A and B are shown apart, each in its own frame.
Chain A
Amino acid sequence: MSLASNTANPAASQNQTFHGSSLELKNLTMAYGDIEVLRNVSLTVAPGTTTCIIGPSGSGKSTLLRGVNRLHEPKSGDVLLSGESALKVKPDLLRTRIGMVFQHFNLFPDHTALENVALALWSVKGMSKAEARKRAHRSLSEVGLAERADHRPRDLSGGQQQRVAIARALAMEPEVMLFDEATSALDPELVKGVLNLMAGLGKRGMTMLVVTHEMGFARKVADQVVFMDEGEVVEAGAPGKLFDNPSSERLQRFLSEVL
């Protein structure tokens, strides 16, 4: 399997099963105490498209994701999910509509893969436990892990754990998926499998905001690439333009270091 080719028009994908919502950040500013780590970031993600955020460490990429689902409350500005302000919704309700995948998976170690996926289905979505398990099983088979449903996280490889985490987020049927360096903690040979999985989601119409250090993925899969540094968006645009024709000196320097 090669990486999915550039999905310029994912709506035309024949297997569209997700109905991603639009996402818009308006002058988003976020701070830890008095230190502003994100300043006036504005960004538009069209429904069903993939936006990759790249940039050096400390540039505020992860903070931006955490502002979208309000794991960290923004200081000012606004986040619009499907046109309505995410800051006016109850955070718990908002988060059921936004899936998130973490660098270190954050699976529940005392739950099996199936229970990891099923937990929020019954405890948040109010499904019966049997129903939740059925839905969880379907979600696990979607990421190729049906046979490992009864394994605990520590009996799974990093790649498998991250796929469980993706299944866990997808089972909630989110409108937007956030990926926070989802492949950074994986063994190198397992990275591609997870990236393929993510590319597949994008192809099927999921709106995705992906913080990544995988430049190959960003170039091939993203509809839009955003380069951030020191808490600001330095440059944004189509991947071809950013990677082949970076206009800012900072992006040129960054690319010369990572490529």
Chain B
Amino acid sequence: MDWLNTIIRTFFDFGAMAEVLPQLLGVGLLNTLIISIAATVIGLVLGMIVAVMGISPSRWLRIPARIYTDLFRGLPAILTILLIGQGFARFSQSIFGPSPYPLGIIALSLIASAYIGEIFRAGIQSVDKGQGEACRALGMSYAKSMALVVVPQGIRRVLPALVNQFIAIVKDSSLVYFLGLLVSERELFRVGQDAAVLSGNLSPLVLAGIFYLVITVPLTHLVNYFDNRFRTGRRRPAAPSSGLKEVKELDAASPLITGSNT
């Protein structure tokens, strides 16, 4: 049973895990969540702008949106993060100070916004054309009909895809370590990695991995739940009623036809 002992010592050294647990919780998990949530929020805002530009009737909005999307979706995340994190380091220093942490978040946001923009665009375009037409026929402007009717319906449809995107961001947030973070700024992966060097085995990284799963797996199932719920829809359960009943009700209650309300 030598191999079993090796496996346990390498991956499941509980002593090493217990030692790193406080740091993983207090520093790693906290930073991973801060980075992911901040990148998602900024990504959602930018993504919505990119999506609305991408379906605009004007090509001067459409083309820049297209290029932006192609660029940030087409490049490897690590490359974008390094280019932005190091390329704008001096610029960032004058605003945020020496830490590359904010630039990491911005780089992740830009990548996320390209994907989220596509998600929003697909959602908005899947809304029946008649919805926008009904708005326009009532005298609503293009912007109002989008903001009040079309976009909200589109967003609701893509909620599952957005949760998936958040999961992707959580995982990509580990790449920020490339920029060289302060000790207190390290996210899950970096904390696990540093501890693994000290303990001489991979157990701290395994524990970091478990933390990632604790965030992502419940979300994956939440997506499935959402998905089912949105596909089947919430309906008041009602017994089928005869169309003739409605005819009767119409005859009885249509003051417009008899003119008694005027």
Residues of A participating in the B interface, judged by any CB pair closer than 8 Å: 1, 14-15, 17, 69, 71, 91-96, 98-100, 102, 104, 106-110, 119-120, 123-124, 141-144, 154-155, 157, 159-160, 165, 168-169, 172, 187, 189-190, 192-193, 196-197, 199-201, 203-204
Most buried by B among A15, A123, A155: A123
B247 and A71 contacting across the interface, CB-CB below 8 Å: no
Question: In the bound complex, how far is the Cα of B153 from the Cα of A109, in angstroms?
Answer: 9
| Interface check B6, CB cutoff 8 A | no
B135 to chain A, nearest CB (A): 8
- In the complex, which residues of chain B have a beta carbon less than 8 angstroms from the beta carbon of A14? 259
Question: In the bound complex, how far is the Cα of B140 from the Cα of A168, in angstroms?
Answer: 13
Query: Among the listed B152, B256, B262, which residue makes an inter-chain contact with A143, where contact means beta carbons less than 8 Å apart?
Result: B256
A144 and B139 contacting across the interface, CB-CB below 8 Å: no
Q: Mark B107-134, 1 if CB is under 8 A from A, else 0.
A: 0000000000000000000001011011
Query: Among the listed A17, A99, A100, which residue makes an inter-chain contact with B262, where contact means beta carbons less than 8 Å apart?
Result: A17
A200-B133 in contact given A1-B251, A157-B246 (Cβ < 8 Å): no
B246 and A193 contacting across the interface, CB-CB below 8 Å: yes
| Interface check B148, CB cutoff 8 A | yes
- In the complex, which residues of chain A have a beta carbon less than 8 angstroms from the beta carbon of B198? none
Chain A residue nearest to B238 in the complex (CB): A155
Interface SS of B by simple majority: helix
Interface size class, chain B: 35 or more
Most buried by A among B144, B249, B254: B254
Most buried by B among A71, A92, A165: A92
B244 and A71 contacting across the interface, CB-CB below 8 Å: no
A106-B259 in contact given A69-B137, A169-B138, A189-B244 (Cβ < 8 Å): no
A107 and B259 contacting across the interface, CB-CB below 8 Å: no
B139 and A120 contacting across the interface, CB-CB below 8 Å: yes
B138 and A96 contacting across the interface, CB-CB below 8 Å: yes
Question: In the bound complex, how far is the Cα of B230 from the Cα of A1, in angstroms?
Answer: 41
- In the complex, which residues of chain A have a beta carbon less than 8 angstroms from the beta carbon of B246? 157, 159-160, 189-190, 193
A142 to chain B, nearest CB (A): 5
| Interface check B59, CB cutoff 8 A | no
- In the complex, which residues of chain B have a beta carbon less than 8 angstroms from the beta carbon of A15? 259, 262
- In the complex, which residues of chain B have a beta carbon less than 8 angstroms from the beta carbon of A197? 254, 256-257
Chain A to chain B contacts (Cβ below 8 Å), 28 pairs: A1-B251, A15-B262, A69-B137, A94-B139, A96-B138, A96-B139, A102-B133, A102-B134, A102-B137, A104-B130, A106-B128, A108-B131, A108-B149, A108-B153, A110-B156, A119-B148, A123-B148, A141-B261, A159-B250, A160-B246, A169-B137, A187-B243, A189-B243, A190-B243, A190-B246, A193-B246, A197-B254, A204-B259
Question: In the bound complex, how far is the Cα of B247 from the Cα of A144, in angstroms?
Answer: 11
A200 and B138 contacting across the interface, CB-CB below 8 Å: no
A106 and B133 contacting across the interface, CB-CB below 8 Å: yes
B144 and A142 contacting across the interface, CB-CB below 8 Å: no
B233 to chain A, nearest CB (A): 7
Chain B contacts with A in 205-238, Cβ cutoff 8 A: 233, 235-236, 238
Chain B residue nearest to A187 in the complex (CB): B243
A143 and B235 contacting across the interface, CB-CB below 8 Å: no
B148 and A144 contacting across the interface, CB-CB below 8 Å: no
- In the complex, which residues of chain B have a beta carbon less than 8 angstroms from the beta carbon of A109? 153
- In the complex, which residues of chain A have a beta carbon less than 8 angstroms from the beta carbon of B140? 92, 120, 123-124
A172 and B256 contacting across the interface, CB-CB below 8 Å: no
